[in-house]
Amino acid sequence: MLFNSIGYLFFLPLSVAAYYALPPKWRWVLLLAASYLFYGMWKAEYLLLLMISTAASYFAAIGMEKQPTKARKKPYLWTALLVNLGMLFVFKYLGFFSEIIAGVAELTGASGKLPVWNILLPVGISFYTFQTLGYVIDVYRGVAKAERHAGIYALYVSFFPQLVAGPIERARNLMPQFREKHDFNPAMFTSGLRLILWGMFKKMVIADRLAMLVQPVFSQPDYFHGIQIAITLPLLIIQVYADFSGYTDIAIGSARLMGFRLSRNFDRPFSARSIAEFWSRWHITLTTWLRDYVYFSLPGKYRGKTAAWRLNLNLIITFTLVGFWHGAHWNFLFFGLLHGLFMTFANISKPAMERFNRLSGLASAPRLNHAINVMATFMLVSATGFFFGQHSFQSTLTLIRNIADFHDSGIKLMMMLQNNDFIIGVLLIVFMLWFEYLVKVRNFSRAFMNKPLIVRYSAYLTMLFFLLIFGIFSQQEFFYFQF
């Protein structure tokens, strides 16, 4: 069931109304049933995988907690890792590796034709797998208690607002909330509605409209060159941001209607002054998950120059995994690898850049230095857009080759400027970034809530009007559902 569907328009209010109508001790039953219904609407068979992941991590955590030493806990930990990562490998990565093996066999002249497995990817498996793995690792490390209530734990894994595309919640944040008594809170309820409206606006008005400009370039790369590709790359990154952060706003808003507080997943990433800062603001729950469970687990206890190089290598490994998490494609591997290399280069060149800033005078002009760093970061992130998507790697190479062809760029630019969809898209981008600046930096929300009731509701109706007039109502899937 998509957030931007008629079905969800009925499903959410009914779920919220039933939640508050039931006695608190039975609310978890309603939410669990609603979550399984929500997920099963895609494909009922997917529920079996969700239940296997839930059961494996639930029993492994209880088994670990009964053991006195970490050595005796490890069999339970490895069982949970094997089940969860095994399912993720089979359904997400088996096709990728079987293609590589088949290709190598063909090159070496191996007899027989090896099969290539292409299995339909269950929606949300990358998200709930990481959520269950984070839980069992926390129990193994002793930073979380094993949940004994099977229903509460199953709800933690499957909670419908964040099930299919995050945020990736930690047990210590979300699980205790299922035991709390949530009375109806008008302020939290209206805050949730505002987030849902803003998320829908970002998805249906901004992201889906930008997709009409972006998709043709990646699906037919031979027909686009120079300035067309150069403008499309940042549009792609902004489209993905509007789409994914729009989903996150709807998820957080939906949970707030029932009194639940989900983790923040975005924090104005296009204001970042470095690639490292960008990832501290973009898909925050994924990057912090990989930081805590992958980066800090890699070998790094070295001294001197060896320590610096080892930490940089760990950074490259971690962000290559960030790319590979997004999809089993060469594009995503290069996407993650590039981000890791960019951060490694920034670490290595930091003394030289500080010296350059002093000599050039940028150190004494902090606002100019800040603006240059923001623009440079956005350009680097946009450049990695070549590799962000499930288009073929051959299409990526074609785009890289064609971007160097700036023949007739002036004419092509004028044609783009005469395209109404392009102009509307740019205006919407400016509005989105300006509005989020007001909310996050200028504390617009508090000032807005102090306005008279007629002013607030006029603003809501205006945004709803623009959503109805300019929204794309073809029920486009959210971009991150493919991961």
Q: What is the largest CA-CA distance in the chain?
A: 77
Residues 59 and 107 in one domain: yes
Structure tokens at 58: 């639930």
Does some domain include residue 79? Answer: yes
Return contacts of 233-238, CB within 8 angstroms, 24+ apart. 233/382, 233/383, 233/385, 233/386, 234/378, 234/382, 234/385, 235/210, 235/425, 236/382, 236/385, 236/388, 236/389, 237/381, 237/382, 237/385, 237/388, 238/210, 238/270, 238/429
Q: Are 251 and 166 in contact (CB under 8 A)?
A: yes
Structural domain span for residue 480: 185-262+388-483
Residues 163 and 231 in one domain: no
Reply yes or no on whether the pLDDT at 115 is more than 80.
no
Contacts of 183 (CB under 8 A, 6+ apart): 259
Contacts of 103 (CB under 8 A, 6+ apart): none
Residues 413 and 474 in one domain: yes
Reply yes or no on whether the pLDDT at 303 is more than 70.
no
Residues 363 and 439 in one domain: no
Reply yes or no on whether the pLDDT at 136 is more than 70.
yes
User: What is residue 345's three-state secondary structure?
Assistant: helix
Q: Are 77 and 136 in contact (CB under 8 A)?
A: yes
Does some domain include residue 270? Answer: no
Does some domain include residue 90? Answer: yes
**Judging by beta carbons within 10 Å of its beta carbon (0-12, 13-18, 19+), is residue 198 exposed, middle or buried?**
buried
CA nearest neighbour of 246 among 201, 303, 294:
201
State how far the Cα of 174 lies from the Cα of 188, in Å rounded to an integer: 17
Q: If you write DSSP's letter for every residue of 121-164 in order, what string do you get?
A: PPTTHHHHHHHHHHHHHHHHHTSSPPP--HHHHHHHHH-GGGTT
| Total domain count, the chain | 3
**Judging by beta carbons within 10 Å of its beta carbon (0-12, 13-18, 19+), is residue 183 exposed, middle or buried?**
exposed
Does some domain include residue 268? Answer: no
Reply yes or no on whether the pLDDT at 103 is more than 80.
no
Residues 50 and 159 in one domain: yes
Residues 133 and 11 in one domain: yes
Chain segment 258-268, per-residue pLDDT in tens: 999 999 999 99
Q: For residue 300, what pLDDT band results from cuts at 50, 70 and 90?
A: low
Query: What is the predicted pLDDT for the residue at 301?
Result: 61
Does some domain include residue 412? Answer: yes
Active site residue 407: no
Which of 156, 183, 210 finishes a domain? 183
Chain segment 53-97, per-residue pLDDT in tens: 999 999 999 999 988 888 899 999 999 999 999 999 888 888 777
Which of 347, 366, 382 finishes a domain? 382
126 alpha-carbon distance from chain centroid = 11
Does some domain include residue 269? Answer: no
Structure tokens at 131: 């959520």
Residues 236 and 117 in one domain: no
Query: What is the predicted pLDDT for the residue at 293?
Result: 92
Give whole-number Cα distances, 295 to 80, 287, 291, in Å: 20, 10, 5
Does some domain include residue 423? Answer: yes
Structure tokens at 163: 């099930």
Q: Which of 149, 182, 225, 326 is catalytic?
A: 326
Contacts of 65 (CB under 8 A, 6+ apart): 139, 145, 146
Q: For residue 473, what pLDDT band results from cuts at 50, 70 and 90?
A: confident
Query: What is the predicted pLDDT for the residue at 482?
Result: 63
CA nearest neighbour of 197 among 453, 440, 468, 437:
468
Give whole-number Cα distances, 140 to 153, 294, 469, in Å: 16, 15, 52
Residues 414 and 366 in one domain: no
| Residue-wise burial string across 150-178, b where 16 or more C-beta atoms lie within 10 A, e elsewhere | eebbbbbbbbbbbbbbbbbbbbeebbebb
Residues 155 and 55 in one domain: yes
282 forms bridges with which residues in the sheet? 266
Chain segment 165-216, per-residue pLDDT in tens: 879 999 999 999 999 999 999 989 999 999 999 999 999 899 999 998 898 8
State how far the Cα of 72 lies from the Cα of 81, in Å rounded to an integer: 15
Residues 318 and 437 in one domain: no
Query: What is the predicted pLDDT for the residue at 137?
Result: 95
Residues 161 and 53 in one domain: yes
Give whole-number Cα distances, 458 to 187, 448, 462, 464, in Å: 18, 12, 6, 10
Which of 183, 210, 245 finishes a domain? 183
| Residue-wise burial string across 36-61, b where 16 or more C-beta atoms lie within 10 A, e elsewhere | bebbeebeeebbebbeebbbbbbebb
Q: For residue 146, what pLDDT band results from cuts at 50, 70 and 90?
A: very high
Contacts of 24 (CB under 8 A, 6+ apart): 181, 182
Does some domain include residue 267? Answer: no
Structure tokens at 7: 């079905």
How much is the mean pLDDT over the chain? 87
Q: For residue 341, what pLDDT band results from cuts at 50, 70 and 90?
A: very high
Chain segment 225-266, per-residue pLDDT in tens: 888 888 999 999 999 999 999 999 999 999 999 999 999 999
Structure tokens at 122: 């269950």
Residues 15 and 125 in one domain: yes
